[in-house]
Structure 1
Amino acid sequence: MLDQLEADFPEHTPRPSHAPKALEGIRVVDFSHFIAGPFATMILADMGAEVIKIEAPGRGDDLRRYPPVHAELKHGAPFLWTNRNKRSVALDLKSAEGVEIARELLATADVVVENFSTGVMARLGLDYETCRKIRPEIIYCSVSAYGREGTFADRLGFDPIAQVESGFVSMNGYADREGVRALSPVMDISTAMMASNAILGALVARERSGLGQAVEVSLFDNAVLMTGYATMQHLFSGADPQRQGNTSPDTCPSGVFQAKDCAFYINCGNDKIFQRLMSQVIDRADLAEAEIYATGSDRIRRRDELFAILGEAFAAQPWSHWQSRMRAAGVPCGQVRTVGEAIRSPEARERGIVTRIPHDTVGWVPNVNLPIRYSRTPVVDPVAAPAVGQHTESVLRELLGYDDARLARLAEAGTFGAAVSRQDIRT
């Protein structure tokens, strides 16, 4: 499954050993699962925070089973993508001992993140009000579907539901058919980014005041934001956005065109770009100065005829010809690529977006880096996502001072899962 990694992608280049980390000394106890919560905590982990992922014994985070699952890793690519640089502790939170250990870990933490259904953490005695009594300066981040209070607090939510209910799906696709969801979990990812930003803001506020606080990010709230300025356009005009396919309702010509050998996208965001496209790229200075194409509104009204002119011109030469001319002319453009083509592209290789990192079990695993570049506090070197409960013993020894006898008693009681025995702990 991972046979081509060494041929396709370079080994990760380590950060300077002396460089400080942006979140050095910050500890996060992470009760989250699936994508929005774990991706948020992974961002913090990449910045240098210590992230302790609490998982159900044996089964762990349900995202582990999302395909394709590697037989030796015992988890799939999606889990690997969103859980690097974390330590996994397996705790049975249905047991009194498991909850007590969780509370002891919380007492050492700076940040707690959870995205259970509303009411679960309260039933466990791990809600914000309880946690702030244990550690008053705690920052407690809840990622929910529709908020933790109000009429809809009990609703479950996943990325596609947020896409359809926010209006996002109604905007995407072609006018002659139903709107389409984004296959990428854009709402989960953007919610994670919002949550990590919110946590960072709360950490700055605590640095100034010494006070912790509750932080909440809702998938639905974020999804409405992700419709972009369409919400404000609707409020001004009363009209809902119409599906435009690959063209733009606001600029023209913007869309997909076919060169002699492949498809590409251009985006003429203003009049000057249009003029450069016509005069310097397709050698039609006459059209660049034509009054009928003078403004964006003029061009939108004549989109079909303008696309026909461009389509005929572009079909005569390969992409390499047009790319070099548009780059020289300052016309934004890009080849239409598959995911596989994108991550192997010259741009991705130069930026070091995808690398390979060592793994004790399978040799190498792929890694997709964050798009964050710090000059003084570079992100940490990636460590592959852990196995369920991989760090239970080391975390409880280091952070809570548990000895062999106590670990063995807890193992026998099933606190770390029915399959964990005294011998497992010793091993």
Structure 2
Amino acid sequence: MAEVSTTPQRHALSGLRVLDLTRILAGPWATQVLADMGAEVIKIERPGAGDDTRSWGPPNMIDDAGRDHGAAYFHAANRGKKSVAVDIAHPDGQRLVRALAAQADVVVENFKVGGLAKYGLDYASLSAIKPDLVYCSITGFGQTGPYADQAGYDFLVQGMGGMMSVTGQADGTPGAEPMKTGVALTDLLTGLYAVIGILSALRHRDATGQGQHVDMSLLDVQVATLANQATNFLATGTPPVRMGNAHPTIVPYQVFPTSDGHIILAVGNDGQFARFCETAGAPELARDPRFATNPGRVTHRETLIPLLERLIAGRRLDDWIAALNKAKVPAGPINDIGRVFADPHVQARGMRTAPRTPDGHHLAGVASPLKLSQTPAIPPTAAPMLGHDTFAVLSGLLAGQDLNLEQLLAQGVIAGPPEDDAAR
């Protein structure tokens, strides 16, 4: 086992260098988490275009001086990184990226299976240069299997992987159809699992000196994160169905209409149900043998829910929340995102932040949820302008390698930021 350092460090991943060859969301989400925790993340982007999401606006991010910093979508997954614009289709660009990989701890990419081999940037090529390299590939269907060569996208995989079969209103009710989640959850979960895989591989590298290939598949992650719905099927052989906001094995655990809005009632045990009934003025329901225990409530769901709907509909949302919070029964409103960021608890937890641009201005942003007492997340810096760090990174990390950056710039192999951005 590797010797544990006792040298204090401000951030958990300080000293770790990540070469980011990803775009869109799953890969950038993974590398952003690494950047949040202190890793140096060098994002390789195509000159003149960059990550696809740079053009996925409006809305755009406007700083506190009124200047436009491009699509908000790009900023959601790329804070804290450096942007180096290199054309990997050009042999000189490939040599630059290989030279950067030789000085990296981690490479993350989300090209199609085999797509980087023709550039000499696949795992086999780069691990030959640096045997202790941790190389993470993120694809729709993984490096093996009959679908490996197919492109995979979050929406597609939510459908193929079962998520949409259990999301949406039940058949026979208004608006019934399979639904995707409101954010690209499969991409985000794959990004998080990729971080776990990368950190696990780094632990192995530190102990043995050996790198490895981390193979992440959106479909694998979607299947894995079906969680209890998957094990319910494996236990019974019966596929779960869409139930709207209801829970398959806990009752009452769903949305109910009040007199002026909707409330989430999340009763997790029999004691909470008894306290709810007392608060609702119907203590007899908790004594009814059909409803006294959760298995009974699940069995008699169709009888119980209409009774609760009539009770809950007679009072105002805020009255219910105040009364149920006092009774220690989990309940809450359905906030839009504006109310989320206005919530005093969300504010107290610091979940809205102001990433700093290179010239000291600020954008609006969402903070990292990772809160470590000894090695906190870094103060956020804004997602970079395309090519902002090209010259600084290449001249710094590849000093002494006889690079003619001006010639490479003239040939279109590399690019810096647009003139108006460079002047900022």
Give the TM-score, by structure 1 length.
0.90
Matches within 5 A, 1:233-248: 233-248=232-247
Amino acid across the alignment from 1:186: L
Q: Partner residue of 2:39?
A: 49
Q: CA deviation at 1:222?
A: 0.4
For 1:418 and 1:207, locate their aligned partners in 2 and report how far apart those are by CA, in whole Å.
Answer: 35
SS of the residue corresponding to residue 266 of structure 1 reads strand
Q: Partner residue of 2:346?
A: 348
* CA separation of 1:405 and 1:225: change in aligned 2, threshold 3 A: closer
Q: CA deviation at 1:301?
A: 3.8
Q: Partner residue of 1:339?
A: 337
Q: Which moved more, 1:399-408 or 1:322-331?
A: 399-408
For 2:422 and 2:234, locate their aligned partners in 1 and report how far apart those are by CA, in whole Å.
Answer: 61
Q: Does 1:373 align with 2:363?
A: no
Q: 2:96 aligns with which of 91, 97, 101?
A: 101
> Matched residues, percent identical?
36
For 2:219 and 2:37, locate their aligned partners in 1 and report how far apart those are by CA, in whole Å.
Answer: 27
Matches within 5 A, 1:200-219: 200-219=199-218
Q: Which moved more, 1:29-38 or 1:145-154?
A: 145-154
SS of the residue corresponding to residue 19 of structure 2 reads strand
CA displacement 1:305-327 (0-9 Å, x = unmatched): 43333333333332232222222
For 1:143 and 1:316, locate their aligned partners in 2 and report how far apart those are by CA, in whole Å.
Answer: 51
Q: CA deviation at 1:123?
A: 0.9
Aligned residue pairs: how many? 407
Q: 2:133 aligns with which of 131, 135, 138?
A: 138
Q: Does 1:26 align with 2:16?
A: yes
Amino acid across the alignment from 2:10: P
SS of the residue corresponding to residue 216 of structure 1 reads strand
Q: Does 1:194 align with 2:202?
A: no
CA displacement 1:358-396 (0-9 Å, x = unmatched): 336794311111211100000001000001111000001
* CA separation of 1:425 and 1:45: change in aligned 2, threshold 3 A: closer
Matches within 5 A, 1:227-306: 227-279=226-278, 281-306=279-304
SS of the residue corresponding to residue 177 of structure 2 reads coil
Matches within 5 A, 1:3-42: 20-42=10-32
8 Å Cα contact 2:168-2:177 kept in structure 1: yes
For 1:158 and 1:402, locate their aligned partners in 2 and report how far apart those are by CA, in whole Å.
Answer: 41
Amino acid across the alignment from 1:379: A
Q: CA deviation at 1:65?
A: 1.3
For 1:147 and 1:26, locate their aligned partners in 2 and report how far apart those are by CA, in whole Å.
Answer: 26
For 1:405 and 1:213, locate their aligned partners in 2 and report how far apart those are by CA, in whole Å.
Answer: 30
Matches within 5 A, 1:30-179: 30-70=20-60, 72-73=67-68, 75-176=70-171, 177-179=176-178
CA displacement 1:127-168 (0-9 Å, x = unmatched): 111111111110000001111123221100000011000111
**CA RMSD across the alignment:** 2.4
8 Å Cα contact 1:404-1:426 kept in structure 2: no
Q: Which moved more, 1:140-149 or 1:305-314?
A: 305-314
SS of the residue corresponding to residue 257 of structure 1 reads strand
Amino acid across the alignment from 2:394: L
SS of the residue corresponding to residue 117 of structure 1 reads coil
8 Å Cα contact 1:37-1:143 kept in structure 2: yes
SS of the residue corresponding to residue 365 of structure 1 reads coil
8 Å Cα contact 1:73-1:362 kept in structure 2: no
SS of the residue corresponding to residue 374 of structure 2 reads coil
Give the TM-score, by structure 2 length.
0.90
